[in-house]
Structure 1
Amino acid sequence: MDADDKPKKIVLDTDAEAVRLARDLVATARHGALAVYYHETGFPGASRVALATDMDGTTIILVSSLSGHTRPMLEDPRTSLLVGAMGKGDPLAHPRITLFTKARRIERDTDEGKRVRRRYLARQPKASLYADFGDFAFFRLEIQGSSMNGGFGKAYELTPGDFALKGDVDGVAAMEESAIAHMNEDHREAVDLYARVIGKAEAGSWRIAALDSEGMDLVAGDKTCRVWYPAPLENASELRGMLARMAAEAREEIGALQ
């Protein structure tokens, strides 16, 4: 068989639906398989890592210097991360995505380090037992490209731009911590509506773990849910009104069903 006759991978045009699916997979993943390159053996190696996301949607991990994948990642930041939806039946029928990334270590005592620590522990609270140990460090896995399989016959290739958040990213970042505390303490009913009605999630003790200019990440134990705003926030001052409107619309939807 000539090289030109070999079967070629069929890649579909990346549309808005594919982008949303890819971003959902990344935002809701609690763990993934991180692949690094071992120079001494010439082979790649994969390890399971727990995940969260930074304000711009970039995946963040927390690793120990004693972990086998940390030194290779520092020597060669080119990494890959596989995450995917879980479900019953054939595992190959469920969407998954491989992110081609470059790992960047985050300095602990910087504003970035403090923000990442807060967001990571909101998603992975049990990590508070060891997150501040001296041999642990946070890394951002900055996307260089990706390959997604949305199910049989649904292959896509996405660019870093497909994952870029729109709207007032920095403005929302500045008010995120106080907004989350307010919603989780004073508006639990609204948070529950976001998850169950808008996010179509199962019942649970839902709370907001993170929010940004395009949506929010909610958690209830081991369950996760990504809820998108109807439109990106062009100014952080729009956040309060957006959350109130979404809660009101969710209540109306419930009322219409009763």
Structure 2
Amino acid sequence: MKDPILPVDGEARQIAKHLIRTARSGALATNDGASGVPFASLVAVATDVDGSPLILTSQLSIHTRLLEADARCSLLLSSSGKGDPLAHPRVTLLAEARRVEQRSSPEGERIRRRYLAHQPKASLYVDFPDFAFWRLDIASASLNGGFGRAYRMDRADVLAPMDGLDGLLDLEADAVEHMNADHSEAVALYATRLCGARDGAWRLTGIDPEGLLLALGDEIVRLTFPEPLTGPEELRPMLVRLAQDARNRSTAD
């Protein structure tokens, strides 16, 4: 019988990364050691700069207690649309969950900021004492890009390389704030002219080595860079270049 698994290519990687970056919720499967039966639950998700999923859970939740006992888990993320739901892409991430213990650390502050930028309604409960962030460290992935399009992927296929980009971790928060405060017109053009989104007061919510996340209410779009950043000093020229591309496209239209 013909092997249904296809070789991983650039298009498959792009589909998987887009799903991971733009998803706002997913199905988390944890291990119930007592019964031996997997336990699935709905969780809200965001991503760290490299693309690792982030979740916020309550100590009262069953899946939190299961993660504390066994950190192995999987997360299913899918796109939605008209017609057969199985015709739309989805990705399953096999991972090990790590609780973020120090919220006051640079990592903890970054994760909190990025999560709330993607899930603003979580600000109502994020600081409750029984809530904690978890980072899902991906081991491998399985992408179904639609009928007859199945791929097995490793972590390098779905995460952004961070070599030489430690400075981006420090730069990102200020860059996001600056763009939203002083260049809101460019941010809106990124969404409408380069992503084909509807008009509105779009906001930049996250920057990573491979692109931008933009939001209008609950609507999320992603703008992938023409080429990934290899150093933090490349961010500003990339933002300027994209703004000019968007304005040129606006003029041409």
- For normalisation by structure 1, the TM-score amounts to 0.94
Is the Cα contact below 8 Å between 1:105 and 1:138 reproduced in 2? Answer: yes
Which position in structure 1 is the counterpart of 2:219? Answer: 223
Q: Which moved more, 1:21-30 or 1:194-203?
A: 194-203
What CA distance in whole angstroms lies between the structure 2 residues aligned with 1:153 and 1:177? 40
Which position in structure 1 is the counterpart of 2:166? Answer: 170
Is the Cα contact below 8 Å between 1:169 and 1:212 reproduced in 2? Answer: no
2:149 is matched with which residue: 119, 135, 154?
A: 154
Do structure 1's residue 39 and structure 2's residue 33 form an aligned pair?
yes
Is the Cα contact below 8 Å between 2:17 and 2:159 reproduced in 1? Answer: no
Which position in structure 1 is the counterpart of 2:109? Answer: 114
Is the Cα contact below 8 Å between 2:138 and 2:155 reproduced in 1? Answer: yes
What CA distance in whole angstroms lies between the structure 1 residues aligned with 2:85 and 2:114? 30
Q: How many residues are aligned here?
A: 251
Do structure 1's residue 143 and structure 2's residue 142 form an aligned pair?
no
In the TM superposition, what whole-angstrom CA distance separates every residue of 1:92-125 from its partner, at most 9, and x where no partner exists?
1100010011100002222211110011011111
How far the C-alpha of 1:205 sits from its partner, in A, is: 2.2
How far the C-alpha of 1:164 sits from its partner, in A, is: 2.9
Which position in structure 2 is the counterpart of 1:133? Answer: 128
2:15 is matched with which residue: 15, 21, 30?
A: 21
- For normalisation by structure 2, the TM-score amounts to 0.96
Is the Cα contact below 8 Å between 1:106 and 1:137 reproduced in 2? Answer: yes
Is the Cα contact below 8 Å between 1:166 and 1:232 reproduced in 2? Answer: no
Q: Secondary structure at the match of 1:40?
A: coil
Which structure 1 segments of 5+ residues have no match?
1-6
How far the C-alpha of 1:8 sits from its partner, in A, is: 6.4
Is the Cα contact below 8 Å between 1:166 and 1:214 reproduced in 2? Answer: no
How far the C-alpha of 1:228 sits from its partner, in A, is: 1.2
Q: Secondary structure at the match of 1:72?
A: helix
Which structure 2 segments of 5+ residues have no match?
none
Give percent identity, aligned residues only. Answer: 51
What CA distance in whole angstroms lies between the structure 2 residues aligned with 1:241 and 1:80? 37
Q: Return the letter of the residue paired with 2:196.
A: K
RMSD across aligned positions (CA) = 1.3
In the TM superposition, what whole-angstrom CA distance separates every residue of 1:218-243 from its partner, at most 9, and x where no partner exists?
11111111111111222212211110
What CA distance in whole angstroms lies between the structure 1 residues aligned with 2:165 and 2:191? 22
Do structure 1's residue 77 and structure 2's residue 77 form an aligned pair?
no
Which position in structure 2 is the counterpart of 1:205? Answer: 201
How far the C-alpha of 1:9 sits from its partner, in A, is: 5.3
Is the Cα contact below 8 Å between 2:50 and 2:161 reproduced in 1? Answer: no
What CA distance in whole angstroms lies between the structure 2 residues aligned with 1:253 and 1:114? 37
How far the C-alpha of 1:166 sits from its partner, in A, is: 3.4
How far the C-alpha of 1:203 sits from its partner, in A, is: 2.8
Q: Which moved more, 1:37-46 or 1:21-30?
A: 37-46
What CA distance in whole angstroms lies between the structure 1 residues aligned with 2:196 and 2:53? 24
Is the Cα contact below 8 Å between 1:33 and 1:82 reproduced in 2? Answer: yes
